[in-house]
């Protein structure tokens, strides 16, 4: 296994150079017909379901209350084939998005603070202390062993046809990752993409068997470290605005990083009178944290402009607010880019997105605006509240160095996830397989 891995990797590095990612993967463009089909999969709830869901919290619920929530998209809905349909998680999201509804929900269900946030309060203090005592930006190593499985539904692909699967794998070009090793794979042949491409994957193929699921699995290990930078605003040097880095990461980029009139006006208002780049970022970060609660997200591929979606709908998941932060930073003259993968906190394993911000004299600094939400318990402790403007905890798998990038080997058909890459991608000669035809998730995570 290890010998084959080394041979394949040496071949890949040579082959990949001619295909080095230099922009958006053409497979991220979907037709309007496909977009509508994906919206229909996301928006499945009818008004009867919503009323029944809300009754335990609003026994005297009126149509006027529902209409008011709909008008603000606190209850997210759209028309599907001429009928009003609500987002599949619209009921639960209402209590996340609408402040008054949240109070009603908490009066019934209680308001227990998320265990992950409680864990991070103490953990982040330890990271800060260790960075300062050791002088290293990388501390508190944790070794992870992860088993990942991807299962294609029986008969989703005709018997005898080849199923092609790309699954997430940790990058090796990150200082916070060490000792990345593939321990086991379900298929005898596989390809691990080089770090030159934005979406790091392990690729496998398998023949479909009639009536049986097509299952791919693999186990890998790596050591992750917390990455935190002990600097102040005064340590940021003036940017070299003529550099290629500055020009690239302060530019617009279709799709999603677009300086609309609203984005420009917002960026100007949030950074008015602020010249220092780190203080600009803090202003943007704090404003997003205060105004945009987390809510379960519809598929990114159905959204034409994610940051504008957040502004118009008053909520966003991790990737959505992350792209809003990147866009506002760039519009404010601060280089920023996307990063994503998984979070591996004990009891809270999930897909996750964040970003990186570049400061002259310091370098690229991980910045997780989504993890700023929930930090209310340490709001009065400056460096702890702003911890995620200067780094990340160790409990991450970094798979993606940008959004809407390229795969190796390339995909032939349109992607299921046109922005991110965390669950995987699957196709066969007949076309792409969408998320309703397969599932992928870490089955086991062990910590050392």
pLDDT tens-place string over residues 258-306: 999 999 999 999 999 999 999 999 999 999 999 999 999 999 999 999 9
pLDDT for 142-154, tens place per residue?
999 999 999 999 9
Q: Measured between alpha carbons, how far is 268 from 396 in angstroms, rounded to an integer?
A: 33
Residues 6+ apart with CB under 8 A from 137: 131, 175, 227, 228, 229, 230, 391
| CA atoms within a 13 Å half-sphere pointing along the CA-CB vector of 426 | 26
Q: Which residue has the higher pLDDT, 9 or 384?
A: 384
Q: How many other C-beta atoms lie within 10 A of the C-beta of residue 279?
A: 15
> CB within 8 A of 25, min separation 6: which ones?
404, 405, 406, 407, 410, 411, 415
In this structure, are residues 365 and 229 in contact, taking their beta carbons and an 8 Å threshold? yes
Specify the pLDDT at position 14: 31
User: Which of 399, 289, 381 shows the shortest CA–CA distance to 341?
Assistant: 399
Q: For residue range 164-186, what is the model confidence (pLDDT) as tens digits?
A: 999 999 999 999 999 999 999 99
Neighbours of 244 (CB within 10 A): 8
431-433, strands of its sheet edge to edge: 191-192, 201-207, 162-168, 425-428, 431-433
Query: Can you give the pLDDT at residue 112?
Result: 83
**441 CB-contact burial (10 Å; exposed 0-12 / middle 13-18 / buried 19+):** middle
pLDDT confidence tier of residue 444, bands split at 50, 70 and 90:
very high
Report the percentage of the chain scoring pLDDT > 90: 88
pLDDT for residue 22:
41
pLDDT of residue 24: 57
pTM of this prediction?
Answer: 0.93
| pLDDT score for 9 | 41
pLDDT digits (tens, 9 = 90+) for 325-359: 999 999 999 999 999 999 999 999 999 999 999 99
Decide if pLDDT at 96 tops 50: yes
* Mean pLDDT within 31-59: 97
The whole-number pLDDT of residue 381 equals 73
Residue 10 above 50 pLDDT? no
Exposure of 430 by Cβ count < 10 A (0-12 exposed, 13-18 middle, 19+ buried)?
exposed
In this predicted structure, the answer to whether residue 15 has a pLDDT above a threshold of 50 is no
Residues 121/125/126/131 CA torsion (nearest 10 deg) = 140
Alpha carbons 358 and 245: distance in angstroms, whole number: 9
């Amino acid at each position: 296994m290890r010998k084959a891995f080394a041979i394949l990797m040496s071949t890949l590095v040579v082959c990949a150079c001619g295909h080095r990612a230099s922009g958006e993967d053409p497979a991220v463009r979907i037709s309007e017909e496909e977009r509508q089909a994906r919206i229909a999969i996301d928006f499945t709830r009818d008004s009867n379901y919503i009323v029944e869901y809300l009754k335990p919290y609003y026994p005297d619920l009126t149509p006027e209350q529902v209409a008011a929530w709909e008008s603000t998209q606190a209850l997210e809905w759209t028309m599907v084939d001429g009928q009003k349909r609500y987002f599949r998680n619209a009921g639960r999201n209402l209590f996340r998005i609408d402040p008054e509804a949240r109070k009603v929900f908490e009066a019934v269900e209680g308001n227990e603070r998320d265990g992950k946030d409680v864990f991070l309060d103490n953990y982040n203090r330890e990271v800060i202390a260790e960075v300062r005592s050791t002088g290293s930006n990388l501390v508190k190593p944790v070794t992870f062993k992860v088993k990942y499985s991807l299962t294609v539904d029986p008969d989703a692909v005709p018997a005898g046809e080849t199923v092609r699967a790309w699954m997430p794998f940790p990058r090796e070009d990150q200082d916070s990752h060490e000792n990345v090793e593939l321990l086991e794979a379900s298929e005898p042949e596989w390809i691990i993409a080089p770090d030159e491409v934005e979406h790091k994957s392990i690729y496998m193929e398998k023949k479909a068997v009639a009536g049986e699921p097509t299952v791919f699995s693999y186990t890998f290990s790596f050591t992750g470290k917390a990455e935190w930078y002990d600097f102040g605003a005064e340590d940021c040097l003036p940017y070299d605005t003529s550099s290629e880095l500055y020009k690239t990461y302060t530019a617009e980029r279709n799709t999603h990083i677009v300086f609309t009139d609203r984005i420009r006006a917002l960026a100007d208002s949030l950074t008015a009178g602020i010249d220092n780049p780190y203080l600009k970022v803090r202003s943007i970060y704090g404003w997003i944290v205060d105004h945009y609660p987390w809510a379960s997200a519809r598929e990114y591929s159905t959204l034409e402009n994610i940051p504008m979606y957040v502004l118009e709908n008053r909520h966003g998941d991790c990737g959505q607010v992350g792209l809003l932060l990147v866009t506002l930073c760039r519009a404010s003259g601060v280089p920023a880019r996307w990063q994503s993968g998984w979070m591996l906190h004990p009891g809270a394993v999930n897909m996750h997105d964040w970003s990186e911000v570049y400061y002259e004299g310091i370098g690229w600094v991980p910045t997780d605006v989504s993890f700023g939400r929930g930090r209310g318990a340490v709001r009065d402790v400056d460096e702890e509240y702003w911890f995620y403007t200067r780094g990340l905890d160790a409990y991450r798998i970094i798979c993606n160095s940008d959004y809407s990038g390229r795969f190796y080997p390339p995909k032939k058909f349109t992607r299921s996830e046109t922005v991110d890459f965390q669950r995987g991608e699957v196709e066969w000669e007949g076309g792409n397989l969408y998320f309703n035809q397969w599932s992928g998730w870490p089955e086991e995570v062990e910590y050392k």
